[in-house]
Chains A and B, each alone.
Chain A
């Protein structure tokens, strides 16, 4: 199994631009999670999906952030417009079912100038 696949691995863009992060979960996993990691705030859950349906988006910082999961093998996290404080590593993770181990992707290191 290829594991959770995220793209791009690195993204550098200017403030105000739209940023789209992509994630392919492990095949057969029903849960998909988006996390943000910063030195100041640690690992924060932004949103998670079950069977492609958003279950909890209480961690999404503000309306500039949106996430979709159009099918079981693909999810996007979009930031529009981006700001320098959005700079972080964004991880996607998936799990087979409730209370089962989450497997993380390699992350996207996002820098907003």
Chain B
């Protein structure tokens, strides 16, 4: 089955700096890659997603890039703010059906 690796596990940045989280996946048939943000004690919330026919997608201060050849995708957060502090999860969807496999998560701390 699919295996998703996520790095780093923790990330501390100064407010205003950029944060980058990287994920790799194993199943070349995966075609859907969402990113979720989870604040302490809350539910995971989708912040952005990308499909295999697109190399990059941007939404205000967040962007995702996808390299299908290398089987990796990344989340970029620019101009970080304290409210960006949370755990971020990447995920990949197998080609058949709608089954998501999640990475291990990255705890991001934005220091004011």
Measured CB to CB, the residues of A under 8 A from B are 31, 33, 42-45, 48, 50, 55-56, 91, 95, 97-107
- For A33, A42, A43, A98, the residue with the greatest tally of chain B CB atoms inside 10 Å of its CB is A43
| 7 closest cross-chain pairs (CB), A and B | A104-B43, A43-B102, A99-B32, A98-B98, A101-B46, A104-B44, A42-B104
Q: What are 13 A-B interface contacts by the 8 Å CB criterion?
A: A42-B103, A42-B105, A45-B100, A45-B101, A91-B44, A95-B98, A98-B97, A98-B98, A99-B93, A99-B98, A100-B98, A101-B49, A102-B46
Pair B102/A42 contact, Cβ less than 8 Å: yes
Q: Label chain B's interface by main secondary structure.
A: strand
Kindly state the separation between the CA atoms of A91 and B51 in the bound complex, as whole angstroms: 24
B98: which A residues are within 8 A, CB to CB? Answer: 31, 48, 50, 95, 97-100, 102
CB-based nearest B residue for A48: B99
Kindly state the separation between the CA atoms of A55 and B99 in the bound complex, as whole angstroms: 10
Given the contacts A45-B99, A99-B98, A104 and B45 also touching, CB distance less than 8 Å: yes
Interface residues of B in 76-112 (CB under 8 A from A): 89, 93, 97-105
